[in-house]
Amino acid sequence: MTKYLTPKDDIKAMRTNKSIIDIVDYVNNMFKTAIDMWASDIHVEPTEDFILIRFRKDWDFLIIDKVDKEFTSAVVTRLKVLSRIKIDENKKPQDWKIIYFYEKEKVNIDIRLSTLPTKFWEKVVMRILKQDTSLINIQALGLIDINLEKLKEALRSTYWIILVAWPTGSWKSTTLFGILKNFNPLEFNISTLEDPIEYNIDYVNQSQVKSEIGYTFASGLRSLVRQDPDIIMVWEIRDKETATLAVEAALTWHLVLSTIHTNSASATIQRLINMWVEPFLLASAMKMVVSQRLWKRLCPHCKEKTELSEIQKAKVIEYLAPISEEESLKHMEFYVWKWCEVCNGTGYKWRIWFHEILTVWDYLEPLILKKEPAHRIQEEWIKHWMITIVQDALIKALMWQTTVEEAFKLI
């Protein structure tokens, strides 16, 4: 295993590793390195002359090693043995799970493995599912104070729907579990319908749906409400039936947590109306939509102060003026990154979320009842001093977590 990561463009200069002495050690070391680095995925990609080992960390691929093709069979077979999939099957894709004991923290970590037959051999991709949920909580979601307070306030009552709106790749499960972990499962009956179950949480009744046998989110939800639940978490609302059942559950004094695939908080309301959920039921049941985007976080070790251009300055003021005092806008400081070893020359370290939180208060009800489009909901909502996702990102730029350029990519 190479000690230092190589920036992705340097692959041509890398020498192929021809000296693996022990395959078991090599594969173990690969897992260990990936977990140490907080990589999310490991890619083992056979090419004509070598196997490329890449990690995905946040968004970027980091090339870890090039292994001589002589070892292809051994590495792939070792991974198959660990995940107990068929060793002799190489014509069809397979998937299963590896449980890896992470010595450093003395925890088992699930690694979901999938194979795909390719031209040269089978490509193996492994998703690292951190089992340790102790780090997941609402404080860790990086909400700015005003939004964190709003969320905590909404969680004080337990009879409505709170949705996480997510574009693909925004780590919705971390947010959903962060919210769920706000409750003591011994004081409530908490039940979940998940697909897949990514984390284990003690004393929470977690159930895996299986649509192929008719156990869907909708049918599961129908059964779940008969289990005397207080808090119900449904992995995702995709259809009218699930949406309607979720609304009904909320109106009969349950807290329903779920996610919906939309790009903004206001679009979520419109999406539910388009699913033919009755607007008057929705207006009563819906409490909050947390919309989020996952972004790269500026490396704190090589950040440096930057001067904005006049155009950028004007734009920042335009966006922040509705929520800031004029005087404070004059003294804003923003940062950019250099490159350093800590961030492996990427300028980024770890990740960050940008949020917007839409609370359904009285002023939104008439709009929902009239089935007004998303932009009307957005306009009305902004009038009530709510923080849009761009404003949230700019606030985080002031907190050294991102750059102005990154924040404006959200527009």
**Which window, 173-181, 232-240, 257-265, 342-350, contacts Zn ion (CB under 5 A)?**
342-350
Least separation in angstroms between CB 170 and Zn ion:
24
Helices (H), 119-186: 145-154, 172-180
Range 131-170, binding Zn ion (CB under 5 A): none
Select 251 or 340, whichever has its Cβ closest to Zn ion.
340
Select 24 or 399, whichever has its Cβ closest to Zn ion.
399
How far apart (Å, rounded) are the C-alpha atoms in residues 156 and 165?
21
Between β-strands 161-165 and 286-298, what pairing exists: parallel, antiparallel or unpaired?
parallel
Select 234 or 302, whichever has its Cβ closest to Zn ion.
302
# chain residues binding Zn ion, by CB under 5 A: 6
Least separation in angstroms between CB 29 and Zn ion:
25
Other residues' Cβ atoms within 10 Å of the Cβ of residue 30: 22
**Among 5, 62, 255, 343, which residue interacts with Zn ion (rule: CB under 5 A)?**
343
SS3 (DSSP) at 250: helix
CB 376 within 8 A of CB 382: no
Least separation in angstroms between CB 401 and Zn ion:
13
Select 79 or 299, whichever has its Cβ closest to Zn ion.
299
CB 193 within 8 A of CB 217: yes
Select 293 or 349, whichever has its Cβ closest to Zn ion.
349
Closest among 35, 309, 289, 344 to 147, alpha carbons compared: 289
* Beta sheet of 231-234, edge-to-edge order: 205-208, 190-194, 231-234, 255-260, 161-165, 286-298, 348-359
Closest among 264, 271, 270, 326 to 289, alpha carbons compared: 264
Other residues' Cβ atoms within 10 Å of the Cβ of residue 172: 23
Q: What is the dihedral of CA 64, 68, 69, 75, to 10 degrees?
A: -60
Least separation in angstroms between CB 342 and Zn ion:
5
Q: Is 409 in the site for Zn ion (CB under 5 A)?
A: no
Range 48-77, binding Zn ion (CB under 5 A): none
How far apart (Å, rounded) are the C-alpha atoms in residues 173 and 197?
10
At 233, list the tokens: 């978490």
**Among 14, 308, 340, 410, which residue interacts with Zn ion (rule: CB under 5 A)?**
340
Q: Is 265 in the site for Zn ion (CB under 5 A)?
A: no
At 201, list the tokens: 């949480």
Helices (H), 166-229: 172-180, 217-224
Select 294 or 299, whichever has its Cβ closest to Zn ion.
299
Least separation in angstroms between CB 340 and Zn ion:
3
Least separation in angstroms between CB 345 and Zn ion:
8
Least separation in angstroms between CB 241 and Zn ion:
48
Q: Convert residues 300-339 into a mask of x (bound to Zn ion by CB under 5 A) and - (unbound).
A: -xx-------------------------------------
Q: Is 299 in the site for Zn ion (CB under 5 A)?
A: yes
Select 349 or 355, whichever has its Cβ closest to Zn ion.
349
Residues near Zn ion (CB under 5 A) are 299, 301-302, 340, 342-343
